[in-house]
A = this chain, B = another copy of it.
Amino acid sequence: MSKEGQRQKLVITRKAKSRSWLYEEGQRQKLVMKWRTVHKTFNTERRRELVRITEDVQDAVDDAGVREGMVLVSAMHITAGVWVNDDEPGIHEDALEWLDKLAPPSWKEPVNDVARELLPDGGDYRHHRGGEDNGDAHLKNLLVHHQVVLPITEGRLDLGPWQQVFYCEFDGRRPKRLVIKVMGE
């Protein structure tokens, strides 16, 4: 046996020895919790942009080798979000237009009376006193949230037929991070 072969064998033996097994309902299950953390950076061309990341999340699950578990997908910024919805361009445009009414930016004219009245009473965000112009993106983050937790069953994201995961940029054109954290067995 080559040295490499011996080393391989040794590793396998140690792995085999180090694992615990649960016999329950006739099934042998490994008791090995696995964790995998992936940080991704986005730098969108436009200020607002929806980026489909379902495949990136599934890749992280595959790399972790998790069959049964959960995965947390969380924006690391307070002016971006993560949501699960349809990958249909019409609903994306609808949603972004609607969010500009509910949480209106002050760097452009409010689109209608509702948007005007939902702006801060003085007409501009207090947050902008420090030189920022992204107050609306903070409020959008609060509305649509910055994270989702997805179930993993038999190694796959346990999603419905139309559920896709999106990174939702509300103040882009600069590098911003997202964390994907897989845990399971």
Q: Contact check, B181 vs A151: say whether CB atoms are below 8 A apart.
A: yes
**Which residues of B sit under 8 angstroms from A91, Cβ to Cβ?**
125-127, 135, 138
Q: Contact check, A32 vs B22: say whether CB atoms are below 8 A apart.
A: yes
Q: Contact check, A23 vs B18: say whether CB atoms are below 8 A apart.
A: yes
- What's the Cα separation between A11 and B88 when bound, in Å? 51
- What's the Cα separation between A159 and B151 when bound, in Å? 21
Chain B proximity of A185: nearest CB distance (Å):
6
Q: Contact check, A14 vs B23: say whether CB atoms are below 8 A apart.
A: yes
Contact A68 B35, CB 8 Å, known A127-B88, A147-B148: yes
Q: Contact check, A160 vs B177: say whether CB atoms are below 8 A apart.
A: yes
- What's the Cα separation between A118 and B104 when bound, in Å? 12
Q: Contact check, A70 vs B118: say whether CB atoms are below 8 A apart.
A: no
